[in-house]
Amino acid sequence: MPRSTLPFLLPLTLLLGACNLTNASTATPVWQEEFSGNSLDTSRWGYQIGNGFMAGSDYVAGWGNNELEYYTDRASNVSVQGGNLVITARKEKITGPAGSTTGTFDWTSGRVRTAGKFSRTYGKFEIRAKFPRGKGFWPAIWMLPEEPSPYASWAANGEIDIAEGWGSKPTELAQTIHYGGVWPNNVYSGATVNFPNGGTMDQWHTYAVEWTPGKIQWFIDGTLTSEKTQWWSANKNPPTSDADLNAWPAPFDRPFYLLLNLAVGGNFDGNPDATTPDQGQMLVDYVRVYGMQNETGSAGPRPDMTYPWTPKPARPALSDGNLVYNGSFDWSDTDPRVTPDTTSLSGAANSKFWTLYTSDGQVTLSNDAGALKADVTNAGSVNYAVQVRQDGLNIESGGKYEVSFDAWAQSARPMMLKVGGGQDRGYAAYSGEQPVQIGTTKERKTVTFDMKATTDAAARLEFNLGNAGTGPVWFDNVVVRRVGTAAGARPPAADGNLLYNAAFTQDATATVPGIPGVPGSAYWTTWSNVPERLTTGISGSVITLNVKDVDPANNWHVQLNQAEVPLTAGKSYTLTFKGRASDAREVAVVIGENGGSYARYLDGKAALGATEQTFTYTFTAPVTNIGAQFQILGAVGAAGSSYGLSFRDFRLVQNP
């Protein structure tokens, strides 16, 4: 149940064994909870309450995953009945503290843990449970390190996810570990497995991990379903070499405690939809922990593994400098550069070196007029629900890169373009997640970015077509090439402001983009998931966002952004601005990572009213990031409502 994780795992549905491989015969009971009483035993379990947590002086809403629920200690959300712990998620309004403000939430649920009451290093952890079906339900059985940990903070100090269920995919289960550097330099690895014997999540199953030095194994109903023997923990942020590693087998060599919860919405399974029931229940029959005979053995030497800084063999660029192979979808399958393991797109000829990923979206691929035609039949709930991509691009640290391609669509629509890392890079977005508007006539699209991360010889170019309408889209002549050297951190403006064009007096140019068609908007961008719902104007140094027919599912569906904001780890910053709204509206105020995990260094709120007010925020940057992003996130209110948001005098300065 990680904070700021990406919302999907690489599919690994191979079961590792059909027989019972557990070491139960050599296990000794050390702790158990049978839920035999009439209420939760608070000498063993503690409640977590709210919709987020404090990270230093900053409040992280939605538990870092954009979750919707507000956890309570009410019996209607957490109870013990008939020998089971019952955690109930309910669709109901609740108002409660959310950092320094008060928020209203549409779902309640429960989350309990043994932190400070029971934790253990190694052993067998076994839980018999039953999960609810329904889009957006996210039941989880997982473990976190007891504090204080010698390994800094999440995820350098580790996380073990015993079982996480997608409410919309009842035949599948996620089994994962999180580790690496301190957020946002964390990574994870795991498996998506099928329930044995055709089972589903809404049946009773016994979930277990057997954790010994150097090995973690996952079981469902006694069947071994996945195993991990490689991980790492860094003592420097960001880590850049093997010298930054903590001793093996850190971080999984310290006491961890248990958590049980039922989340609703967020990055993992998306938000509930019209098919989701108004109530879901996670039942837990028992939790049993055993010591194991082999838990006192040696972890052995550190295994060979890949780190973000590990050099990878680089695929050479083509003679014209293009890093994309078969960018015009015209290479034959007998091309000498094609190998037996080269990927291709089902349904599309001449598509070697390209890959398709779908989560809850659907697309039909074919060739048309020498281009790739992607006919989206189900847009899914997230932008990567339909993802056409090419892996294996060698993106070098310190380089400036240009992405260009021809695109057109049957109906005008947006897409999200990204050049980034794979699983071992935490799916970092080197280019940021770039919105691209596609029209109905063939047009050349161009995006440039500076590579500020460690060189990645296995980077990915992604065309993300999900959550943005259905219908055909065409791509052709795709090029990614290095065009120069990346710029360093941009200096503050003459008055010390880290935000450029704060008075909205500078027009966009060919080298300094702005909001299309809006004079005075250089360095600023806006975005809406449905472009026609947002119009922007600037007058008298005031920028106004006119929002029509809002989609309130997530507040980031309306954005005012400025990227390339330089921040230094450990330094304190103060943000101020003046704002008002046509009627009372609360917006999110964010400074954080532009891509990847979208980690939030400042995660604030501004309660706007008809009278202009001044808003002030102070935060400390957890990492050095010369390309951070400032955002106002404004999709708020009842579905279909319209309103205006006005701002001026943005100022971000480093404190003495």
Measured CA angle at 364 (ends 268, 190), to 5 deg: 30
- 443 has catalytic annotation: no
Distance CA 460, CA 486 (A): 19
Distance CA 116, CA 286 (A): 20
Distance CA 418, CA 427 (A): 10
Is the CB of residue 258 less than 8 Å from the CB of residue 113?
yes
* Active-site annotation holder among 159, 210, 462, 593: 159
Is the CB of residue 40 less than 8 Å from the CB of residue 74?
no
Helix extents (H) in 110-223: none
Distance CA 381, CA 273 (A): 10
Residue 566's nearest CA partner among 499, 655, 468 is 499
**Following DSSP, what letter does each residue of 502-515 receive, concatenated?**
TTS-B---SSS--S
Rg (CA), the chain: 25
Distance CA 590, CA 597 (A): 14
Q: What per-residue string of b and e applies to 548-569 under the rule 16 or more CB within 10 Å gives b?
A: eebeebbbbbbbbbbbbbbbee
Distance CA 316, CA 342 (A): 15
Burial of residue 422 (CB within 10 Å: 0-12, 13-18, 19+) is middle
Phi, psi of 105 (to 5 degrees): -125, 150
Sequence length of the chain is 656
Give me the half-sphere count of Cα atoms (radius 13 Å) on the Cβ side of residue 42. Answer: 6
Tokens for 564? 């390339």
Task: Find tokens 């021809």 and name the residue.
Answer: 406
Tokens for 450? 């500076």
Is the CB of residue 605 less than 8 Å from the CB of residue 589?
yes
Task: Find tokens 């992604």 and name the residue.
Answer: 462
Residue 568's nearest CA partner among 625, 653, 631 is 625
Going by C-beta distance under 8 Å and a sequence separation of 6 or more, which residues neighbour residue 365?
345, 346, 347, 348, 351, 356, 372, 373, 374, 375, 388
Distance CA 377, CA 385 (A): 11
How far CA 404 is from CA of 57, 163, 463, 514, in Å, comes to 42, 41, 12, 19
Distance CA 43, CA 634 (A): 43
* Active-site annotation holder among 33, 67, 146, 164: 164
First vs last C-alpha separation in the chain? 38
- 164 has catalytic annotation: yes
Tokens for 46? 């503690």
Phi, psi of 139 (to 5 degrees): -75, 145
Q: β-strands 542-547, 558-567: how paired? A: unpaired
Is the CB of residue 223 less than 8 Å from the CB of residue 205?
no
Task: Find tokens 């960001």 and name the residue.
Answer: 238
Active site residues: 159, 164
